[in-house]
Structure 1
């Protein structure tokens, strides 16, 4: 019989460093921080890594662990999920409350998100404010649908968009706990499940409200007044209006993205909502804003915040808007709607897809599959017409 590669008893007895040591064929020996040893069967299913405990060493010996791993591999080949054993690595001091598991989830996933610091803060704060009172100190294995229902009931009709996000985030944390064998792999928050039977039909009482926007006929008066105000927040807001960009895109714009000679902002994928690079034609008015700004380095932020090297804050443009006397009824993001409405009503010669491309909106369906261009030259003409309109009749 051929000698099997992998672990042997002498090797196992010498292992001191905490970690997972592979024997091959999905079998691993886990050495804990206190020197304890446990067998793990690790496999991938539906795009996720999963673990099954096979018992502690030496109570379960090497050959017995290999035999059990072979049984689990056979189950997987037959499409059967291996049962959860009692030997999975779960230390008494390992955090098992919902709040603790949520922190582990954030530490492992946040770096894959766009704008991770902001997204992490929104995630943590929403669960802290709405879920922790009921779920925070509860062991994840004991959380059931009644607990989730109790979290969502106070806000389901009152603040439905937030409630939907919290429902999804709770589900993600519980799914993560299930992958760690901390709880049964049961999706309490899935659509069409028990939770839907307990919660009222929110769509009957909730109307989705878009961002408040300024009527476009006020723009020729507003933008010249904005242009006359000092401050980086006012400059950023003016640039946002002229480019019809999102606040995040303006805040994280850098000088090396700006081609001032060609009049192009080459916005990279990482700052775009759709995750695709986007070329923005810069009108003479938008270029004038850039040329008037201080420039420390080619890789620095265009609109610099209060701290050296930091981007403009989230609140700076909103504060500039309030200082203009627009405390209610208008939002920074709403200027994209203002531009889109102006294009639809005042530029009847401009096809719909041109205005959508100016907003970096993707064209869906079959049309999107065949349309690979970005209408750049046509969009340049549109954005110059928009800048002319924003300049006002006095200009």
Structure 2
């Protein structure tokens, strides 16, 4: 049976607005959506399965061009080729070409951009950029991310693995994350060359053996009263902030950013908002009598509980200087509790 072709006219195609399917013959259809947009679809059977293949919007593909394209695809179909499979293969080739153009540095920039908003400290992004630019970029930054291999990663890490172990460990993790991002983004495939377990751990020494972690010496609990007594004798908001941090076992940023509005005097509770917490969750801290006494000795009319210069938030260096003078850290004081 002869199949009718060229059923539609340019005028019909332009004027039709009713939602539906309009056949031009030989499997070529004009689809009009509920919103009035128009596009071409090729309907065909291949290996006993019905397929719909989009050819493009009417605004980009006039009737005459759509017919020529449908005829070309029809010839491929008669020769035993699936037009959809051909398209997928071409798309894969194009993605591969694009991947070869995506360098490691390009992927690093894209990864940092994607995750910057989730990093609390702006310095974190700068640290990523600095370490990658200093160590990774000179070796393989300009290379296609698909070509970066284990030998290149080792070449970056090995020179600093013994002397700058902490930096090297963080750098390895950052390279691994970027390579994972590139794999998920289809810019590379295969094993992650920066993976540690079962991979680089066979090529590089265990970092904990190269540079063992040395913790701050803890203050003996029996010496805590003496330490607090000496601290109370010091003037200034930095000393009071450090004392408050000791009572609450809170982090520097949480204490320095404390505002009077966060203090519930009746319940003796300090509520730290989520944005100042490392866990990003609101934290309620019970205040012992010593905390309440300390707070009542301060000016509750200021915005910050422990204000710095000109009423602004106290700097972290202010507290750090007190710690240095007393040869102790907040972390070293926590075991006392």
Instruction: Tell me the residue number matched to 2:319.
Output: 317
Pick the aligned partner of 1:333 from 327, 331, 334: 331
Greater share of helix: 2
- C-alpha distance in 1 between matches for 2:135 and 2:297: 45
The answer to whether 1:98 aligns with 2:96 is no
The answer to whether 1:222 aligns with 2:220 is no
SS at match of 1:85: helix
- C-alpha distance in 2 between matches for 1:304 and 1:4: 66
Asked if structure 1 preserves the Cα contact closer than 8 Å seen for 2:148 and 2:193, the reply is: no
1:231-250 aligned at under 5 Å gives the runs: 231-250=236-255
- C-alpha distance in 2 between matches for 1:109 and 1:139: 22
Asked if structure 1 preserves the Cα contact closer than 8 Å seen for 2:99 and 2:145, the reply is: no
Give unpaired runs (5+ residues) of structure 1.
Answer: 10-24, 30-36, 38-57, 73-81, 340-395
1:1-395 aligned at under 5 Å gives the runs: 2=21, 3=31, 5=33, 8=39, 67=84, 84-87=92-95, 90=98, 96-113=102-119, 115-184=120-189, 186-294=191-299, 300-305=303-308, 311-322=313-324, 324-326=325-327, 330-339=328-337
For residue 295 of structure 1, report the CA deviation from its aligned partner. Answer: 5.0
- C-alpha distance in 2 between matches for 1:183 and 1:306: 52
For residue 264 of structure 1, report the CA deviation from its aligned partner. Answer: 0.8
For residue 286 of structure 1, report the CA deviation from its aligned partner. Answer: 1.7
For residue 71 of structure 1, report the CA deviation from its aligned partner. Answer: 5.8
Asked if structure 2 preserves the Cα contact closer than 8 Å seen for 1:247 and 1:333, the reply is: no
- C-alpha distance in 2 between matches for 1:233 and 1:302: 11
Gap change, CA 1:305 and 1:98, over 3 Å in 2: farther
Asked if structure 2 preserves the Cα contact closer than 8 Å seen for 1:106 and 1:120, the reply is: yes
Q: What is the TM-score normalised by the length of structure 2?
A: 0.65
SS at match of 1:8: strand
Gap change, CA 1:224 and 1:128, over 3 Å in 2: farther
For residue 241 of structure 1, report the CA deviation from its aligned partner. Answer: 0.7
Asked if structure 2 preserves the Cα contact closer than 8 Å seen for 1:110 and 1:116, the reply is: no
Q: What is the TM-score normalised by the length of structure 1?
A: 0.56
CA-based RMSD? 4.2
Asked if structure 2 preserves the Cα contact closer than 8 Å seen for 1:253 and 1:301, the reply is: yes
Asked if structure 1 preserves the Cα contact closer than 8 Å seen for 2:254 and 2:272, the reply is: yes
For residue 223 of structure 1, report the CA deviation from its aligned partner. Answer: 1.8
Task: Determine which structure has more spread, i.e. the larger CA radius of gyration.
Answer: 2
Gap change, CA 1:197 and 1:301, over 3 Å in 2: same
SS at match of 1:279: strand
Gap change, CA 1:308 and 1:224, over 3 Å in 2: same
Give unpaired runs (5+ residues) of structure 2.
Answer: 1-19, 22-30, 41-51, 61-65, 74-82
SS at match of 2:284: strand
For residue 195 of structure 1, report the CA deviation from its aligned partner. Answer: 2.1
Gap change, CA 1:121 and 1:312, over 3 Å in 2: farther
Query: Higher relative contact order by CA 8 Å / sep ≥ 6: 1 or 2?
Result: 1
